[in-house]
């Protein structure tokens, strides 16, 4: 009896002593005898707390084969993949200290992954200066009389998105710095803003051109929506200078100046829209701006080595527009840098240069 008492009261870290103190017992009688002896020993082992500690200590030991089975059951319960189940079974065979270190490493790795994830509610905001420049140049670029494409889905570096992006890159003091461009998350936000604002600007310009046609039912009955007809009912035909002034007023903060080159370009744009309203089948080309890009490409290809003929063609478009929508005093051509009334402002010069493939690298805040 003393040997049994020593077995129960001894630390679980002494299995050798316990094994040597017990005689071999087999069968059901061994289980019953062991249970009775254990209960008797516990009844004499002191306070209830001591008995609880002894019981929990004795039950906390799980044989290695039981841990292997428990690992398999756990893997099935949480639906681990085969590789995960194998790793769990491997860890189950490690000593407790090594399992603790392994668990700590897993938690640290998980923390690194969570830190790398950008929270959706912590979206980077475009700095005000950069946002203002995007507002300005998405408008100014579309006003450029030398712009090659208005959509430019296949134009590469000549597309409006790339032109605005290039202008911003060449003026890092505005906020589109190397650090921002190197950060894909931030760079994507800037590019997306440029794309959205260009889409908005194109819609505003097209509407202004459409409204300038006036409430002529012969033009609008087939191709203009009811909403556009309602707007057009309160408008009269505008001459080309008035049209350009209306467009420029869409973003007055740009301080864009109406020039003869701008008038010639908008006469060309209005001519294409007029053709589209009379020939609905042209919509199959992909829409108004896609048709504009196609027509501009055809003109450039036809007169690429004959700039004089190209100028003559644009002049003819301007004269034809004046005959249809009224004559106006067109501003004289000017390349002045002092913002005279007839000269493009400095932002327009930057946009025109970019449209010609030359980006002005100037840190002045235009």
Residue range 38-44: mean pLDDT, rounded: 47
Global pTM reads 0.64
Compute the 3-state secondary structure of the chain and give helix, strand, coil in percent, each to the nearest 5. 70, 0, 30
Split at pLDDT 50, 70, 90, the class of 64 is: low
For residue 5, what pLDDT is reported?
A: 39
More confident residue, 312 or 226: 312
Contact present, 254 and 197 (Cβ < 8 Å)? no
The DSSP code sequence of 288-331 is: HHHHHHHHHHHHHHHTTT-HHHHHHHHHHHHHHHHHHH----PP
pLDDT at 20: 40
Predicted confidence band at 322 (pLDDT cuts at 50, 70, 90)?
Answer: very high
Model pLDDT, residue 153: 73
Mean confidence (pLDDT) of the chain: 77
In this model, does residue 52 exceed pLDDT 60? Answer: no
Cα gap 153→149, rounded to integer Å = 9
Phi, psi of 244 (to 5 degrees): -65, -40
Residue 131, pLDDT above cutoff 90: yes
pLDDT at 53 over 80: no
Q: How far apart are CA 267 and CA 259, in angstroms?
A: 12
> Is the pLDDT at 315 greater than 50, yes or no?
yes
Residue 268 has pLDDT above 50, yes or no: yes
pLDDT of residue 31: 42
Cβ(62)–Cβ(70) under 8 Å? yes
What pLDDT was estimated at residue 4? 38
Task: Reply yes or no on whether the pLDDT at 279 is more than 90.
Answer: no
289-307: buried (b, 16+ CB within 10 Å) or exposed (e) per residue? bbbbbebbeeeeeebeeee
Q: How many CB atoms lie under 10 A from the CB of residue 194?
A: 21
């Amino acid at each position: 009896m003393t040997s049994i008492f020593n077995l129960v009261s001894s630390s679980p870290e002494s299995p050798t002593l316990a094994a040597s103190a017990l005689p071999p017992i087999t069968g059901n009688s061994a289980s019953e005898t062991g249970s009775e002896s254990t209960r008797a020993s516990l009844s004499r082992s002191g306070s209830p707390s001591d008995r609880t500690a002894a019981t929990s200590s004795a039950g906390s030991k799980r044989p290695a084969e039981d841990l292997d089975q428990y690992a398999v059951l756990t893997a099935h319960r949480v639906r681990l993949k085969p590789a995960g189940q194998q790793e769990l079974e491997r860890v189950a065979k490690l000593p407790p200290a090594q399992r603790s270190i392994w668990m700590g490493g897993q938690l640290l790795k998980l923390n690194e992954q969570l830190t790398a994830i950008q929270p959706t509610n912590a979206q980077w905001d475009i700095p005000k200066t950069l946002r203002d420049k995007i507002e300005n140049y998405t408008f100014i670029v579309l006003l450029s009389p030398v712009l090659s494409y208005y959509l430019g889905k296949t134009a590469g570096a000549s597309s409006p998105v790339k032109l605005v992006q290039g202008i911003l890159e060449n003026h890092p003091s505005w906020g589109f710095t190397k650090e921002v461009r190197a950060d894909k998350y931030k760079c994507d936000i800037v590019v997306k803003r440029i794309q959205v604002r260009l889409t908005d600007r194109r819609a505003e310009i097209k509407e202004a051109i459409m409204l300038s046609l006036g409430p002529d039912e012969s033009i609008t009955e087939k191709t203009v929506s009811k909403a556009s007809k309602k707007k057009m009912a309160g408008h009269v035909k505008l001459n080309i200078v008035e049209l350009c002034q209306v467009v420029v007023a869409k973003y007055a903060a740009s301080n864009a100046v109406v020039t003869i080159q701008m008038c010639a370009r908008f006469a060309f744009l209005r001519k294409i829209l007029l053709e589209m309203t009379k020939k609905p089948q042209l919509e199959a080309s992909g829409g108004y701006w896609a048709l504009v890009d196609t027509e501009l490409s055809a003109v450039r290809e036809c007169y690429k080595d004959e700039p004089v003929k190209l100028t003559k063609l644009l002049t003819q478009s301007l004269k034809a527009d004046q005959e249809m929508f009224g004559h106006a005093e067109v501003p004289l051509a000017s390349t002045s840098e002092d913002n005279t009334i007839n000269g493009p402002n400095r932002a327009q010069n930057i946009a025109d240069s970019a449209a010609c493939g030359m980006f002005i690298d100037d840190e002045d805040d235009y």
